Amino acid sequence: LALKSKALVRQVIGIDRDISTLEQALQLGVIDVACNDLKDAMVDADLVLLAAPVAQTESILRSIYPYLSQRTIVTDVGSTKCDVIAAAKRALNDKIAQFVPAHPIAGRAVHGPQAALATLFSGKYVVVTPLAENSSGAINYVANLWRQCEATVQVLEPLHHDRIFASVSHLPHLLAYAMVNHITDHADAFDYFKYAASGFRDFTRIASSSPEMWRDIALANSDALLEELNAYQGQLRQIIEALQQRHGDRLLSLFSKAQTARQDWLLTHQRVDNDGESV
């Protein structure tokens, strides 16, 4: 939609497992053509953009392999990169040089064609984790498309990517799901939900994300994520110990450290509005 809004694509062909999703995308102008025949869709394609839960990468790439001509570049938007690359190598084999792995750092808790925004990537990072097999032409082609969407392209090693996102993205998603389940499991959960307010709303916003997508991400990045969960439990134990000992100074120091670090993060990395909250 971002490329279409800038008239940088001739024709967008949509393929989906769900026919009603395709119809909706067509109505909304997110795609120009709905297609259920991979062979037809692949003819003369400049680019294949794979956007599906990461565990489906291998089977989807296997299904396009027979129709993948030399002139077509394949990229993805998966939140994990090591497993996606391993799957791509198995599926694309001798055509692996045509696959340029990427991850736009932008998303919404709502999903589906009606959640598409042409401006979603503006001012956001897109991480590209190139393969040794990729030509610089292929890498630049994908990077430039993202730049046209007003994103800033960054290059990372796949393993470094996966560790960073296990920490800043995958971990909070799991913690938010756990928080909602924690409230739900109270005997009188309705009373609890009744008084949940804006703090709870923001904290759990990412718990509205697709369970299927996040199951796949969690499994794909389980090693890094288990390390992060372990370290996070250590942070919780520090707070619990300070609370058990009624150690006010220790609590104040832990909370102040976090508040200061977050304010620094807002100033350094996020656009900030007049309220001091990022927009």
35 makes contact with its own copies (CB under 8 A)? no
223, 224, 228, 250: which is closest to 239 by C-alpha? Answer: 250
Contact of 148 with 175, CB cutoff 8 Å: no
228: phi > 0 → left, psi -120 to 50 → alpha, else beta; which? alpha
Spatial separation of the C-alpha atoms in residues 154 and 79, rounded to whole Å? 15
Nearer to its own copies among residue 145 and residue 207 (C-beta): 207
34-42, 85-93, 132-140, 202-210 -> range binding its own copies (CB under 8 A): 202-210
8-16, 42-50, 135-143, 211-219 -> range binding its own copies (CB under 8 A): 211-219
5 makes contact with its own copies (CB under 8 A)? no
21 makes contact with its own copies (CB under 8 A)? no
Minimum distance, C-beta of residue 18 to its own copies, in the bound complex (Å)? 17
196: phi > 0 → left, psi -120 to 50 → alpha, else beta; which? beta
Token couple for 200 = 């709870």
275 makes contact with its own copies (CB under 8 A)? yes
* Site for its own copies, residues 91 to 130, rule: CB under 8 A: 105-110, 115, 124-125, 127
2-10, 27-35, 82-90, 263-271 -> range binding its own copies (CB under 8 A): 263-271
53 makes contact with its own copies (CB under 8 A)? no
171 makes contact with its own copies (CB under 8 A)? yes
Token couple for 150 = 């007003």
236 makes contact with its own copies (CB under 8 A)? yes
* Site for its own copies, residues 137 to 166, rule: CB under 8 A: 160, 164-165
Angle in degrees, 0-180, between the axes of helices 211-220 and 222-244, rounded to the nearest 10: 100
Spatial separation of the C-alpha atoms in residues 265 and 229, rounded to whole Å? 22
Nearer to its own copies among residue 136 and residue 244 (C-beta): 244
